[in-house]
Structure 1
Amino acid sequence: MPEVASGPFTIAYVESGTGEPLVMCHGNEADHRQYDGLRPLLAPDIHALSYDQRDSGDTTGFTGDYTMADLGQDCIAFIEALGLDSAHVVGTSFGGMIAMHAAIARPERVRSLVLISTSPAMALFSREMLGLAERTPEERRAFMAEAILSPAADPQLRTEIAELLTGRSPEQSTRRLAAMTTHDCRDLLPTITAPTLVLHGSDDPVIPAATGARIAELIPGATLQVLDGLRHGLTFENRADTAQLIGDFVLRSSGVQQ
């Protein structure tokens, strides 16, 4: 898969399409593959780039502990390493936190922002999710496997997700959890200037839909779209609609006629 150098680090990514650059930030238990089924459904005028974060996939060179703000800077560094002045950014769950920090720290690099099933603070997660902080990675993955899809979802999607929620050492999982548990950017959300779309499932057991509504309230001019009957996995169970919403928003934010 392609790689770009960013200082001493090597960031691995996959890409599809041409046109408006869209950087995609994956969730905590996932890697770049989270968007493999969604990227082909995006509008052909979008150049989608899904990269592996620290302690994920094939990205290398990162050592030691880090914060969500550090991961936000990594997202910006990836955009710059690609030779881009700016890009649209989408993030899901953990990746949405990264996207927030990227837009807060470097507003000139973020053309628009799509935040999916995410939270501006760990304190706004559900009680069930907060209780997993002391559980093993295997227990967290088992919870997420059930939380991602509604009971009506295609069983094949459960197999796909089970294959995705693997591959980290205990040390890597611990570092990512530590970054998440210290995350709180609520006071900084009003400083975000990028056009923002917030997508959330009405039945999300990980991050309540009310948290998505709160994000939309705090970011000036943000648009909220709640998808009825869906849980945490909008990039899986609801791919076609989610891709349509993302694509329309990105192209509309860019002034591209559809």
Structure 2
Amino acid sequence: MPYIQSGDVKLHYRDSGEGYPLLFGHGFFMDSEMFAPQLRALNPTHRVLAWDAREHGDTEAPDTPFTYWDQAGDALGLLDALELPSAVIGGMSQGGFIALRMALLAPERVRALILIDTEAHPCSAPDRDSYRALFAQWGLCGPVADLAVPLAGQLIGEPALEQVWIDRWRARTGRSIQLAARCLLDREDIREQIAAITCPTLLIRGSEDRAIAAERMDFLSEAMPNATEVVTIAGAAHAPNLTHPGPVNDAISSFLHEHRI
């Protein structure tokens, strides 16, 4: 499996195809495997990469607190190690939190953004309370059915795939998610900053997403100067690129073609 060293992080990534690079970051509790449909579909025309965030997948990182700004630095370090001066940066949920910060930190490295079920808002107080309770139980009990089944339903929303990911979570029992949880729950509000992001931006949302409210993605469409209207994927939950890859890949391909990328 390919790894690069980005600072003190041994970062695992997937790499497929040739052409202008697309780099995808996954959501919380997921890993780079969730972008397998994009690696398969888009690699005839583009080099498609996906990476594992800290405390997810096969990436190895120090046991110290971190932020989404730090993880934006991790992803920029991956571009450096692969000698890629720029890329289209994609992200689902927390991967989008990171992508937005990459565009703020290094706009010259971000040719365009693909944001899937994500937001610039901070975690709301009710969500913070409910997720903190979930993470505490997960830390004590691991991915037992009472926790994993409802979570998989919210994140994925397709029974056959839900079991695949529950099995992946159970295979990783014993690995901590507490620092990643702190990063998620304590993320700051960047709504006032995103008007500075001027690159072309594709927005995609599952119609049945219960994690990111529709109005939060509408805010991105209104606040970012070169963002599309939100492309809604009918019947999809929080991970449409995984559960409904056909319409998502079509939207991405059309966006790339429109911008001659």
The interval holding the TM-score normalised by the smaller chain is 0.7 to 0.9
In the alignment, which residue of structure 1 is the partner of 2:152? 145
Greater RCO, CA 8 A, separation 6+: 1
CA distance in 2, matches of 1:48, 1:239: 15
TM-score by length of 2: 0.87
Measure how far apart 1:49 and its partner are.
Answer: 0.7
Residue aligning to 1:131: 130
Q: Which residue of 1 aligns with 2:195?
A: 190
CA distance in 2, matches of 1:131, 1:226: 26
Aligned to 2:102: 102
Cα distance in 2 between the residues matched to 1:221 and 1:130: 34
Aligned equivalent of 1:49: 49
Listed as ranges, the gaps of 5+ residues in structure 2 are: none
1:93 aligns with 2:93: yes
CA-CA distance at 1:124 after TM superposition: 5.3
C-alpha distance 9-173 of structure 1, shift in aligned 2 (>3 A)? closer
Residue of 240, 249, 255 corresponding to 2:255: 249
SS in 2 for 1:235: helix
Partner of 2:17: 17
Distance 1:54 1:230 in 2: 26
* 2:224 matched residue in structure 1: 219
Q: Helix, strand or coil for the counterpart of 1:200?
A: strand
* Distance (whole Å) between structure 2 residues aligned to residue 249 and residue 94 of structure 1: 22
- Superposed CA deviations along residues 120-153 of structure 1, whole A, max 9, x for unmatched, are 123359x567522222233664333111344xx4
**CA contact 1:12–1:58 (8 Å) conserved in 2:** yes
Report which stretch shifted further, 57-66 or 99-108: 57-66
Q: Which whole-Å CA distance do the structure 1 matches of 2:173 and 2:49 have between them?
A: 22
Query: Which residue is 2:236 aligned to?
Result: 230
Give deviations 1:9-36, integer Å, cap 9, x for gaps: 3221111111110111011101111112
**1:209 aligned to 2:214?**
yes
Note the 1:148-167 alignment, pairs <5 A. Answer: 148-150=155-157, 153=158, 155-166=159-170, 167=172
Residue 213 of structure 1, CA deviation: 0.9
**Which digits, 9 at most, give the CA deviation of each residue in 1:67-89, with x for residues without a partner?**
11111121111111110101111
1:43: Cα distance to partner? Answer: 5.3
- Listed as ranges, the matches of 1:70-85 within 5 Å are 70-85=70-85
User: Does the CA contact (< 8 Å) of 1:43 and 1:247 recur in 2?
Assistant: no
Cα deviation for residue 159 of structure 1 reads 2.3
More displaced 10-residue stretch of structure 1: 100-109 or 223-232: 223-232
- Calculate the aligned-residue CA RMSD, in Å: 2.2
Matches within 5 A, 1:25-64: 25-42=25-42, 44-64=44-64
Q: Percent identity?
A: 27
Q: Which runs of 5+ in 1 are unaligned?
A: none
**How many Å apart are 1:61 and its aligned residue?**
4.0
Q: Distance in 2 between matches of 1:78 and 1:219?
A: 26
Q: Whole-Å Cα distance in 1 between the matches of residues 47 and 106 of structure 2?
A: 21
TM-score normalized by structure 1?
0.88
1:35-83 residue CA offsets vs partner (Å, 9 max, x unmatched): 1233202251111111111112222243300111111121111111110
